[in-house]
Chains A and B, each alone.
Chain A
Amino acid sequence: MADEEGYLAVSGERITLQRRHHSASCREFLVRCPRLQLRSLSAVTCSVWLVAYGLFVLCQNSVVLSAAIFVTLIGLLVYLHFVKIDQESLLIVGSLGIQMTSSYASGKESTTFIEMNKVKDVVINEAIYMQKVIYYLCILLQDPVEPHVVSEVVPLFQSSKPRLDCLVEVYKSCQEILEQNKKS
């Protein structure tokens, strides 16, 4: 019960959207971001090392070279563990809530679960990002005191930033489940 489709991200990269229908009221969407490119990795490493070598030639201090190696290694670790997100998933269970998971390239996962009684709606919003207008999917949270007020907006798929056609697919499925939930 899983189908996969290719889409484009806002920046033009290829992303894949995987849909899993676990049951009538439980669906999961996985957006896989592009992998880390060997080309960019080697470019960054080479540039850092070249700069370090230039400094070494200037000041004849070999500490610079070892520092450059450490900087690249630690930078790579930090990038993989805290910055680079491989895959983002959205699990929506009709009676329970919405769960967002982003898995980092190192395997670390960060999960947020929002209970259904706090969710007001799921909408597609637009925002100005750098020099262009992009669309993004977001969850509106209900204010606990006044039920008509939106207290918070939680954006979804923040790192992969899919284009509108992909967002509409997810949006429709989410609305179906929210409708079911409201009916009962």
Chain B
Amino acid sequence: MVLKVFFPACCSLAESGLLVGRWIPEQNSAVILAVVHFPFVPGQVKQYLAEVHHVTQVEVSVLGSWTNSKQAKEENLGRFLEDLSTIFSHDPWIQLSRKQGSKFWSCSTIWKHPSGDEGDETTLVYYDQRKVMLSQLHPPLDSEVAAASSLDRKVENASRLMAMFNTVSQSKVLFMKDRYDEGPIKLTHWQSEGVEASIIVELMKQASVPACLLVTFLLSLVSRVCQSRALTFWPLSFIWSKLSTCQQLRHRLQHLQVISSPKKAPDQSQLMRKANIFVSILLDVTLGILLMSWLYRKNRIGHLANALIPMADHVAQQLQDLLQWLMGVPAGLKMNRALDQVLGRFFLYHIHLWISYIHLMSPFIEMILWYVGLSACLGLTVALSILSDIIALLTFHIYCFYVYGARLYCLKIYGLSSLWRLFRGKKWNVLRQRVDSCSYDLDQLFIGTLLFTILLFLLPTTALYYLVFTLLRLLVVLVQGVIHLLVDLINSLPFYSVLLRLCRSYRLASGVKFRVLEQEAGKPLRLLMQINPLSYGGVMQAYRLPTYSCYPKDSWGSLCKKLFVGELIYPWKHKGEKQD
């Protein structure tokens, strides 16, 4: 069996001493954590290691000896090292030695109970202690699921490298010692910067606790106001559920509650989630304030309000022209004149109502916009949701036309299909959910056929109105959908993880990669272990924040079918709600 020695690259220049680390017997590998320098008292070393073991729960022990020889005095040292192996008994006892100016180290192992395979090889794997300690290993998703499903087998099948990563990250206490700390024993390992370097961080940590408490208190007040009875009785609650602004605000409120909860995050993924939410909100608010500062400079709100009314007028004018066109001979089609006129007048009256409503509102629009614009300081997403709501409100007439057209068309389609069955001497059996044959009277057949003919000849007129208004409606739905997608993007993108991946790519590891270093015959194989960072797609998949909004659940096919049959379509957000 090949013996693997994981050696921290920062210790390669250390003076001679003892190798301290953890022996993993099932993998036949040794993870070296630090080197203890030579003038030491064996008892103190043992006591220190026991303390470390107590704190970290990692079985740290003396694994062997390390010689970094500068002069040629090997003779007495050899004996001394053998003596050491009797003091710190460990099976196997690893002796690593490095000669001055040579890249190749020699390694010999002494087994207390020599087994059959004596001619075993050694593989030296260098690792960067700091990166391994800080990195977070992400196993592939499917294997994680499989491991979770069989907990009893998890231990043996868990990634072998995971054990090594865990060993290093758990023995953090060992590395957190100050550089100038004069302890009883001297160690070489990766040095943290010490506490002094991060005074600002410490201060912020201290300050964050009262800040979190304050925010939690404010949030509880806000949520209590929101849940008060005055705001949740029937018509209002219905309106709240339809406005995307309210949903976005509720979502952000939940996010704030998650961040400001004084409880410590239980594991790494929760911590990352908090950080992601925090950065997302920060970015959102920054963008919102930028937007606000742009809007309120040079009276842009006023210009916008002034442009809005003529635009609504223009849209209404265009619609009127369209209706006039439909009432005539659209695209050379000959429609049923009476029905055409009735439908056209009905819609024209509706537009007239709409225009008068807009003109009634016009004096207040600038003020409304001014106050609504203030809400952008709550974040760009809120501003975008408000924009979506405003679009929905301003295109209410299109929605109405669409609903009328769709209902009429739907009624006709259903009537036609049932009369077509009558035409063939069949009927729909509701109890059995199938088509049965049925014998009709002569009168029934006569009336049914007559109605069928009438409906069939009137169908093109209704279908045309339906088609035109559905296209308009689809345009509005598309615009709203794009806005919702944008909001969703800001809500769900894990900015912190992406930044971490960009700047400190070793923090999010998907695995490791090895590089073979130079070889010399008779010397152990040397490998350099590097961290393989997670791909950006993997980062997205692992840390994507869940959002309230659902993507279109029905496929394009079912959407087309709905359009053909005349069922109502909604913007993407409401669709999920309706299905629930």
Residues on A lying within 8 angstroms of B by beta carbon are 1, 20, 22-26, 28, 91, 93-96, 99, 101, 111-113, 115, 117, 143-145, 151, 184
Q: In the assembled complex, which residues on chain B have CB atoms less than 8 Å from the CB atom of A112?
A: 511, 532
Within 8 A of A (CB), among B137-182: 143, 146-147, 149-150, 153, 157, 159-161
B160 touches A25 (CB 8 A): no
A22 touches B143 (CB 8 A): no
Q: In the assembled complex, which residues on chain B have CB atoms less than 8 Å from the CB atom of A101?
A: 513
CA distance A91 to B513 in the complex (A): 10
> Any chain A CB within 8 A of the CB of B4?
yes
Selected contact of A99 from candidates B4, B121, B157, B513, CB within 8 Å = B513
B1 touches A95 (CB 8 A): yes
> Any chain A CB within 8 A of the CB of B2?
yes
Least Cβ–Cβ distance between A70 and chain B, in angstroms: 24
Q: In the assembled complex, which residues on chain A have CB atoms less than 8 Å from the CB atom of B513?
A: 99, 101, 111, 113
- CB within 8 Å for A24 and B121 given contacts A91-B516, A144-B146: yes
Q: In the assembled complex, which residues on chain B have CB atoms less than 8 Å from the CB atom of A23?
A: 121, 519, 525
Give the residue among B117, B153, B512, B514 with the most A Cβ atoms within 10 A.
Answer: B514
What 17 new A-B contacts, CB under 8 Å, besides A20-B516, A145-B149?
A: A22-B519, A23-B121, A23-B525, A26-B123, A93-B123, A93-B527, A95-B1, A95-B4, A96-B514, A99-B513, A99-B514, A113-B514, A113-B532, A144-B146, A144-B157, A145-B150, A145-B153
Least Cβ–Cβ distance between A26 and chain B, in angstroms: 5
17 contacts between A and B (CB under 8 A): A1-B519, A22-B525, A23-B519, A23-B525, A24-B121, A25-B2, A25-B123, A95-B4, A96-B514, A96-B527, A99-B513, A112-B532, A113-B511, A113-B513, A113-B532, A117-B160, A145-B146
Q: In the assembled complex, which residues on chain A have CB atoms less than 8 Å from the CB atom of B519?
A: 1, 22-23
> Any chain A CB within 8 A of the CB of B28?
yes
Least Cβ–Cβ distance between B88 and chain A, in angstroms: 25
Q: In the assembled complex, which residues on chain B have CB atoms less than 8 Å from the CB atom of A26?
A: 123, 516, 525
Q: In the assembled complex, which residues on chain B have CB atoms less than 8 Å from the CB atom of A111?
A: 513, 532
A184 touches B1 (CB 8 A): yes
Q: In the assembled complex, which residues on chain A have CB atoms less than 8 Å from the CB atom of B123?
A: 25-26, 93, 95-96
Least Cβ–Cβ distance between A100 and chain B, in angstroms: 10
Q: In the assembled complex, which residues on chain A have CB atoms less than 8 Å from the CB atom of B159?
A: 115
CA distance A180 to B153 in the complex (A): 26
Across the interface, name the chain B residue whose C-beta is closest to A27: B516
A93 touches B146 (CB 8 A): no
Across the interface, name the chain A residue whose C-beta is closest to B119: A24
A95 touches B2 (CB 8 A): yes
Within 8 A of A (CB), among B330-344: none
Give the residue among B121, B147, B153 with the most A Cβ atoms within 10 A.
Answer: B121
Q: In the assembled complex, which residues on chain B have CB atoms less than 8 Å from the CB atom of A151?
A: 146
Least Cβ–Cβ distance between A103 and chain B, in angstroms: 12
CA distance A101 to B530 in the complex (A): 13
Least Cβ–Cβ distance between B81 and chain A, in angstroms: 25
Q: In the assembled complex, which residues on chain A have CB atoms less than 8 Å from the CB atom of B161?
A: 115
Q: In the assembled complex, which residues on chain B have CB atoms less than 8 Å from the CB atom of A28?
A: 516
Across the interface, name the chain A residue whose C-beta is closest to B512: A113
Across the interface, name the chain A residue whose C-beta is closest to B162: A115
Contact with A along B110-151 (1 / 0, CB 8 A): 000000010001010100000000000000000100110110
CA distance A91 to B519 in the complex (A): 15
Q: In the assembled complex, which residues on chain A have CB atoms less than 8 Å from the CB atom of B1?
A: 95, 184
Please provide the 7 A-B residue pairs with the shortest distance between their CB atoms, ordered closest to farther: A95-B2, A111-B513, A184-B1, A144-B157, A23-B525, A144-B146, A145-B150
A93 touches B514 (CB 8 A): yes
CA distance A124 to B161 in the complex (A): 28
Across the interface, name the chain A residue whose C-beta is closest to B158: A144
Q: In the assembled complex, which residues on chain A have CB atoms less than 8 Å from the CB atom of B147?
A: 144
CA distance A174 to B1 in the complex (A): 17
Least Cβ–Cβ distance between A182 and chain B, in angstroms: 11
CA distance A145 to B160 in the complex (A): 16
Q: In the assembled complex, which residues on chain B have CB atoms less than 8 Å from the CB atom of A184?
A: 1-2, 117
A22 touches B160 (CB 8 A): no
- CB within 8 Å for A25 and B121 given contacts A113-B532, A117-B160, A184-B2: yes
